[in-house]
Every structure is written in structure tokens, then in C-alpha cells.
Amino acid sequence: MVTEAEDKLAQSCFLTEHPGHSVPSALRPAPLLAAFPELTSLTHRPRSKESGAWQRLGTLTLEAGEGLVPNFQSLKPWTGRLTLRFESEAGRLTLLPITFGALPSAEASASASPPETLPGLRQGLDCVIADRPLTLQISLRVEGQPEGLLLTFGRRAWAQGVPKERAQETNSLQAFPPRSQIAEGGEGARHRCSPTSLRMVLEGFGQRPSDGFYEACRHPAGAQFFGLWPQNLARVQDFAATGLLLPFRTLAQAAALLDAGFSLVPSIRFGAGQLPGAPLKETGGHLVVLQGFTQGEVAVLDPAAPEVETVPRRYPQAAFAEAWLAHRGAAYVLWPSR
């Protein structure tokens, strides 16, 4: 019989067919755990050997106003699909499936399903937000045979006051080849900030994603669906890289990871005139590559710039912190994996 304590999931859950198999440090590097100590909390679960079956993992409790972002990392590249479900006695929510590797188009396409509701839990594009305290049952469906999976939950109060911090400085500014999603053009160019930012980072790692990388990042649920966080990260793992989408609370967390050699791609949002110097007047969600902090400014590569030459930008640190940390604080954290 599983006790209540054993049923509770930690912030990370490692699923493998081999009991006692430790999580490789390449998936949980020490500087990352230092910046996000809550990730040291780890649950082990045996992975179901039955492809396509729902496996109940345990329960997670959310506070009112807290958001939860799921992340999937695999020990080795594989082909298949992962689907996460949240349930309570009041209902359930199933997130969009995330595809790894190159599934045939018929298998990869998102199937229609009846609308689902779970009172008190709002579904974002790639997250859930609690409107009141909730205890959720978490289930996972694995289609395929991955050697091992690390499921990590990034969590934070979805809206927060931006902490007053001394101006951050990083040891140096990271260099990446700039890319403009606008100049590159093509179908859905204005919606490709996420894969364009990730491509800049991968190229900085010495990888060579082709133009097909953008289409590979697009989720089959929509023709211009390029911004689903876990789907983009699944494609990154086709290269010698891995990463997580984590909600940051302070600029100091970001500076520590940048100085440790990690690369960050923050998700920002701002109203008209709130981010001086930005190529977008306003946005409800946009991703940029963070190069570092210097002289009270934030150096970024902004893929919304109209030409490649204008992709490098400097934004006032206080305005950037408000655009990033006040809501979600989400950012891809990326590093070479092999």
C-alpha cells in the first residue's frame, strides 16, 4: 500500500525501468541546483513498460496564484510522445502531447478530444495556474520506449512584485550569431521568436540546425504554433544540448547561471512604451536571448528586430526586470549535453 508521503511528487521525478538508477549529472548540473535548490527534491518512479498507457505518478499541491510548468528531459534521443494530465475529484486537464524525434505526420498530429475542465485550475498554453489551493493527481502517458525520463516542474507565484536589486553585472557577455525572424521571413515568421532564439543558442554551442528546425518546433495543433515551450525543448534535445523552462524570481539567479556558462532565453511581456528600445511596441509574450548584464543595462539578441544588424539590443535593467519577472519570469535554461 502506498502511503500519503510516498504518493507525493517532488519538484523532479525520474522515471526509469531500472530501480535505483541515478539521474546523470548532465541533466542536473550543480550550478543549476544551486540557483534553484528546490530542484534537489527528487522522486523516483518505475516507468511503465506498456507504451501508450496512462501511469499515475503521484500528487502535487499548488497554492493559490501558483503556476506550474512541466519539463521533460530524456537520457538519450528517442522517438515518441509524452502527454501529462492533472486530475482531482472535480475534473481533469490534459496538456497537449509533446513529440520527441521524427514521428510520421499521421502519428504526430494532435487528435481532437472533448473539452476538459478542472475547477480552480486554469490551463495556459504550456502550463497550469491555480486560482485556489489544489492537490492534483499527476499522470503521464508515454508512447514509445525512452531509456529514462526526468520530469521537472518549474513553479512560482505567476504574478509577483519585482524585487529591488542592486544592478546586476555579469563577468562577460555571451556571444551568439544573431538571427532576425522578420528578415528570415516565411510562413509564420512573426510567431517564431522561440525557435529563432533557440537556434541562435544552438549555433553558439557549435550546432548546425537547418531551416527545418523551425517547422520541427511547430506543434501540430496549429499552423502558427511555434511557441509551445516543452515542444521546443524536445527539439533542442535532438542536438548536443538540453534544457529546462524555469520561472525565475530574481535577476541574481540569471546572473549566477550566465556566469556559470548556461544560456538563457527569457519570455517577456510589456505594454506600449514600457521597454525602451525594443523593436516591438508591446507584446503579450516574446522571447529573446540574454547575453548578460552590464552598466545598468541588459544585453540581448532580440529576434523581432527587422534586420540581422539590429538584433543586438540594450535595454534598461529595471524595465527589462519588470517585463520579465513581474509575470511568469519564465526562461529557457540551456547547456550542452554531450
Alpha carbons 103 and 85: distance in angstroms, whole number = 22
Alpha carbons 304 and 328: distance in angstroms, whole number = 21
pLDDT at 196: 97
When pLDDT is averaged across residues 44-57 and rounded to a whole number, the result is: 92
What kind and span of H or E run contains 14?
strand 12-16
CB atoms near residue 9 (< 10 Å): 20
Q: Which grid coordinates belong to 252?
A: 541574481
Query: Where residue 113 falls among pLDDT bands split at 50, 70, 90?
Result: low
pLDDT at 223: 64
Determine whether 228 is exposed, middle or buried from the number of CB atoms within 10 Å of its CB (0-12, 13-18, 19+). buried
Please answer whether residues 245 and 331 qualify as being in contact, where contact means their C-beta atoms are separated by less than 8 angstroms. yes
Q: Is the pLDDT of residue 124 over 60?
A: yes
pLDDT at 108: 57
pLDDT at 42: 94
Per-residue pLDDT of 147-192, as tens digits, reads: 899 999 999 999 999 999 988 999 999 999 999 999 999 878 999 9
Please answer whether residues 249 and 275 qualify as being in contact, where contact means their C-beta atoms are separated by less than 8 angstroms. no
pTM: 0.94
The lowest-confidence range among 15-29, 88-102, 121-135 is 15-29
Note the CATH architecture for domain 181-336. Answer: Alpha-Beta Complex (3.90)
When pLDDT is averaged across residues 74-91 and rounded to a whole number, the result is: 94
Per-residue pLDDT of 237-259, as tens digits, reads: 999 999 999 999 999 999 999 99
pLDDT at 109: 56
Residue owning grid cell 535532438: 238
pLDDT at 170: 97
In the chain, where the domains are located: 4-157, 181-336
Per-residue pLDDT of 184-215, as tens digits, reads: 998 789 999 999 999 999 999 999 998 889 98
pLDDT at 222: 72
Strands (E) located in 114-249: 121-123, 128-130, 134-143, 148-157, 241-247
